[in-house]
Structure 1
Amino acid sequence: MIKTKHTEQALQNNEQRYRPIIETTSEGYCLFNQSAEIIEVNQSFCTMLGYHQEEILGKKLDDFFDDANLKIFKEEFSKNASTWHRSYEITLKHKKGRDVFVYLKVTSLKDDISHSWLSFALITDRRKWTEKGLIGFLHLSDKITERQYAEKALRDSEDRLRTVADFTYNWEYWIDPKGNFLYVSPSCQRISGYSNEEFQRNPKLLEEIIHPDDLLSFKKHFQQNHIFKEEYPTYFSEFRITTRNGEIRWLAHVCQPVFDIDGRWLGRRASHQDITEQKRAEKAREETHKFLEKIMNSATNAIFVLDLEGQFLKINPACSKITGYPVEELIGQPFSIVFTPETLPKINPQFIKVAFKGETVSQFETEIIRKEGSRAIITFSIAPMRNSGQIVSVVGTAEDITARKQTEKALRESEERFRSLVEQAVDAIFVHDLEGRFVDVNLKACESVGYTRQELLKLSISDIDIGINLEHLKKLWQQMAFGIPIMLEGVRRHREGSTFQVDVRLGLIKWNDSKYILSAARDISERKQVEETLRKRDLQFKMAQEIANLGSYTVNLTTGEQEWSDQMFQILGVTQKEVSPSYDNFMLFVHPADQDKLAEELQAAFGGKKSLDSHYRIIRKEGNMRFVHSGGKVEYNPDGKPLWLYGFTQDITERKRAEEKLIVQSKILESMAEGVTLADDLGQIFLTNPAFDSMFGYEREELKGQHISILHAGPFEKSIQIIKEMMAILKKTAVWQGEIKNRKKDGSLFITYAHISALEISGKPYWVSVQEDITERKQAEEALKQAIASANSE
């Protein structure tokens, strides 16, 4: 009997030890027999399914399983009742009919004596836990002695309650008044990385792994629990721990005091729930909420939420701006407040489609009336917002398109004006796609190529442009950017076959959401002719400057700035990089003996007193002295102020030397006793010396420009023939010599001995003739012949 009493007391102690764990755990627990009748539940199970304890007791599991899950459960139970250990993700039926998603972990325990079965289960709501719960099967004997029954009940109770406690998903523990762990559930290792044996060996281990920032509050709570155990029946807190592998995890802590049947305080029972993911989710939700709030507040379009009665629940600043109502004033108002009486009948059906039929409305255009009475045009889109599949509100966005509408109207009017201007434009305007096909042209375009508008719209750019690489142009068109025109030149073909040059300006435009090329072409045939003429003249001018070794310059008489032609630098023997155009730099090259004279003449020219005409010497970079001639003319403004000096500088060194040489040659030529003449290949006389003029009886320079035929005796035709034969010989041999019968100005005849040579001057053929009057010698020779003949006859 005493042993039975002890057994009963142990049973009661075990009940007191484990019962608080079962009753306070957040996991659902139920005990049912083999008939599936529920005989015991904890409060969490009742809360999970929406029942009171008295409502559930006696019910069968069939009332909470749907058909599919119940069938699987019974089949598994019947096959593996003695060794059952399964995990499930299933749905149970709530009292209100909705589904409750849970994880279910089941196991079995078989009694060695009895053949009757009892069952219990711990169920975890899937929304809170990531592991499963437990079902255990216990056997109770009904054919043993009272002592055996008490002992058996004690073992069963302890096994049952420990099994339930060990299989709880949360980290459960019981700490005695001295701070020692009486019980620690195995879940502690999953959460902290430390085993329950380690916590029981080291009561301070829990404090050691608590995050330093949370340790003080936890110690304070622990001390208060031991001092004021009556005032703190249940305590909730959250803190962080550092797991064995260094990971920081968040725990939800709940504890309450434990008393025996006599009211003695036995310590506190606590439960730690790992809420790390929940914290992360909360943080993510918080950040997402802040992010969405920022988006909503910074959005340029209106964003709003309506309840199912059409009242504003939330709006962003853009919505307030569009409607003219302050945020706090519009909240709670019906949406009809912002619509005009004319548009409201069209708006109500749109709201009904979304709020009660679950449809969406996109880009609905309508008119609203602002708070101050002005009207605006908007487009709005609305969609249903659901919670658990049920429509709870309507969310929408709106855009004020009043300005856009006004712009579109202005654009249409502008397009009409533009079309009128385009049609009257002097340029030929073509619009084509990125493949080169024409989509629009103006009247000038039609006239320029000789086609009608209808005909051109059937053609492409390759039909009117000559020598183009269409593939190259397509790549160019693809690379073009808006607002950056491209200038091209080309040759265009008229319908009749003639061609003409065009200057084309290409621009990328957007038309009906597609890209096109706008081409403005102008006939530049006449301009090209002018440019070619100018180019030739410029080339001739440059060539003339090079040939004449002549450079040009421009002086701004207001600022003193100068510009030199390329030939100016060549005359000085420097490059443009070595010397910049200026008065001082130029004077550095002037011969010291000529600097004062040139400076005086330049200052007079700069002041507009007279034009510049100066001869002086320069010393080039390499040290050579050259003779130059500079001239210039001043341009004045209407008030007579000198503005510009335009001038030239010519290297006349060679000319100076040639002049000196010519002087010498001229003196030699003038002093010669023989007559000398120079004529071109056509027989025109260019030069004679005094002896030649005197020989033929002409004044100086009188023969210049005359044809040499006037010097020959005999008829004109015969003279010409003789000259041609003579020139033919000269072309072959370059030299001719012999006697020529000539005629003087007075008509008298005389004979000369001529030596004629061919020479080339500046690429042109000339003939130089040196003649000696042999008339007297010929007469003497003739007299001698006659005398000899007379003597012989005698």
Structure 2
Amino acid sequence: MITHELTSQIFDSMSMGILTLDRDIKVRYWNKWLELNSGISSETIKGRIVTEFFPEIDSPQFRRNVKSVFKLGNYCHFSQKLHSYMLKFKVLDTAGPSFEHMQQNCTMGPLKGSDGKIELVFLTVQDVTDSVRMELILNEQATFVKNNPAPVLRINRNGEIIFANPATNLLLGKDPVGMRMSEIFPAYGDLLATMKKGLELSQFESYIHGKAFLFSVREDAVTDSYYVYGSNISDLKSAEESLKKANESLDRKVKEKTRDLQKELDERIKAESNLRKWANIFEKAEWGIVVGSSKDQTLELMNPAYARMHGYTVDELTGRKAADLYRPEDRDGLSENLSIAREKGYHTFEAVRLRKDGSTFTALNTFSAIKDADGKTMYYAINVLDITERKRAEEILRISENSLKKAQEIGHIGSWHLDIEKNVLAWSDEEYKIFGHTPQSFGATYEAFLEAVHPDDREMVNRTYTEAIKNKTPYECVHRVLRPDGEIRTVLEKSEDIVDENGKTIHSRGMTLDITEQKKAEEDLINARDELDEIFNLVPHIICVADVSGYFKRANPAMTNVLGYTEDEFTSRTFFDFIHPDASFRYVLSPGLSLVNSRLCVKFLQPACAR
């Protein structure tokens, strides 16, 4: 069974234009050939009055012809000889006579339904530009031959004369048309035998009224015949030169025409290939694509992805209002977005869209206003991308960034990133606070960072960072920061570098830890140890420090003075070596024995017997 789809495929593959009109001369079908030659798509012209696009046919005669076909079922033929063209199409400029518009033969006839009633009128448009151009070329050639003062004949492949110019008739004294060449020129018989063997065509000589003539035979592929050019042998050189020029001109025109036709064919093939690619993209794209009317904002054409993301089929959405797919509270903003697209040519915005089941999703919408040559908006092309997952990821990222910001505030840890090529330094909020500035209060640079470093530490910091970049080693540095209010803080900085494909360092990213309190605690500990050492050395009582095995680690001056040993001599012996055998060990150690940091601290509170 021949279906409508199959019929459309057949008509789309034909090398002529086919369209159908209803009684209101609105276009109901517009095949691919017409799309390519008019530049008007089927979607654009279907349902529209044909004279809106082709005002040149808007005449009473055309309308009478259409009515006549609907009423009488007759056929109307529009010949190029009388009308040149019906639909004004541009034509490729080629060699030979040129035309501003495509030369056309057109036929109009009825299309009947299954009930035998005429439902539509078809109109075929056939491009005859090449034929007309070739006819003009042949006419010019015939004129040239006719007016040539030398004898010229045209013969078919059987050797029958089908044309002779006046000069030939005058030379022979009669009109030879219809006669065979061998009857008039016996030498032609030898040439004909050569031709039948498939050998290259040549020349023959013949005497007419005592005059010697040289006849040259040349094939004319256009007319599938042969031209025979005769000349007096005395004028042979001139005749050959004239013939050569004529042949070269003809060959050049044929080659130019062939080249132009090939170029036009290649362009058409490329255009059809591009159309197929766009159609494939349109059908298989994972984002939504829809074409909407500029008049009433109805959805006219869409891809499956657009319908699918809204929970509909394509058929269900076709003809629906675009506003139906937005939440009620967002529909008033649609007209404003369309207005912006008309003014700018396009407009991108986020909006919450409504599915068939009532659920919603966030989408990135790009409206493009498609305009005609006069700048009037014909329709809107809209791309719709579901960004629900992206919005969810952005929310997760926002929460993560807030958590990182809070963690940096608690730990007094700042982070930074330096674009070395652009000299752009990005600081986190906590980084600004560590350096005593309001977050994001100024655009940081490497030079601004060095200005915030304590003057006594700047040269060291710059050298350390520069050497790390040069040697491609991690950067780590402890230095002081001079805040704007004069307070000095101590920080630990670490960073790692990012290199490009050539190994060049282009970025650094790092962290800054405020260790001011830690440094202060370390200094307090050192001071406390110094004070303890001073007391240890100045107290008049014997004090020593030993490990859990009893070996001395330290002995104060009071002990070395009493026992007469140096501190170095103590360190190789245990305190048991200095207790008299008669002394009570329990009495000596009690209650002055204690364990401090895994060492025995012995304080002789009572007099002891030393050796």
* Higher Cα radius of gyration: 1
**TM-score, scaled relative to structure 2:** 0.40
Q: Which has the higher strand share?
A: 1
**TM-score, scaled relative to structure 1:** 0.31
